[in-house]
Structure 1
Amino acid sequence: MEPLTEHRPVAGPVVYGYLRPVRASTARQQALATSLEEYCRQHELLLAGVFTERSPAAAVAFTGLLDVLALPDTYGVVLPAASHLGPKAIAAERTRRIESAGARLLLVRGRRRPRPAGHRAAGQPSTGRACRRSPALDAET
């Protein structure tokens, strides 16, 4: 009798990392790669490789990434943040190419969501209209 699925080693979906650490130190590059590894571990993804663009003008690593996205069983691409795809116009085209390859784009640090009206970001100065608690008044019976 075969063991239950929970007792068998099962590989998670295969993803590839992409880094574009413009003007980053070696320590920062290592920290970015570690963040991809940790994200994949937490989300049970199999990080099969990390493509790193060494020059802001080059696209050699991105071309290699597109090549592996054509492999069977590739689930997606993981990035530390959307900014690693490049400036907005380039990032939009690269996002389109990743998605047209049938891969998902996963961000360790997701896109910023708009805040509901009346909410302010942490660290912003108060407008002075903060909610203040007032003492409860005794009601007569």
Structure 2
Amino acid sequence: MEPLTEHRQVSGPVVYGFLRLVRVSAARQAALTASLAEYCRSHELQLSGLFTDREVSVDPSSAAFTGLLDVLALPDVYGVIAPAMSHLGPKVIAAERGRRIEAAGSRLLLVRGPRLTHPSISRSGPVRRRSPGITRVLDAES
């Protein structure tokens, strides 16, 4: 796949990464970080920073997430990239964080989208349901 800019030096849309790394090995952290960086490089996104949440919390306002929201207020920020929705936290916290990212006017890009346990079947075929405002960008393991 050729880059859209045909190898010209241009800045792509600015994104910030978010990882939730509670009790994760250094090797796993390095692999996830490299995965986000490689995806951004190959899709001409400018990964301008990475926020890492290392605490188990029942509050969506962790220090890392608050910092992420602060940079989303900067001009020309396109969005947030994460390996999967689970990196935003447990389901209730992840849903709230997703709403806050959208409220900041940013897109949430997921390398691996939500898993479907039992897709509904209709006469026209399976119905795939996704959360609004979330963009699935790649089928890859995180």
> What residue in structure 2 maps to residue 52 of structure 1?
52
TM-score between both structures, scaled by the size of structure 2: 0.73
1:11 partnered with 2:14 = no
1:38-117 equivalences under 5 Å are 38-57=38-57, 59-113=62-116, 115=119, 117=121
* Deviation by residue 1:6-25 (Cα, 9 ceiling, x = unmatched): 67521000000000012110
Matches of 1:110 and 1:42, distance apart in 2:
19
Unmatched 5+ stretches in structure 2: 127-142
Matches of 1:8 and 1:18, distance apart in 2:
28
* Deviation by residue 1:75-95 (Cα, 9 ceiling, x = unmatched): 000001100011111111100
Identical positions, percent? 69
Unmatched 5+ stretches in structure 1: 120-141
Matches of 1:66 and 1:43, distance apart in 2:
23
Q: Tell me how many residue pairs correspond in the alignment.
A: 115
- Considering only CA atoms, is the larger Rg found in Structure 1 or Structure 2? 1
Matches of 1:8 and 1:85, distance apart in 2:
34
TM-score between both structures, scaled by the size of structure 1: 0.74
> What residue in structure 2 maps to residue 33 of structure 1?
33
Runs of 4+ in 1 over 4 A off after TM superposition: 5-8, 113-119
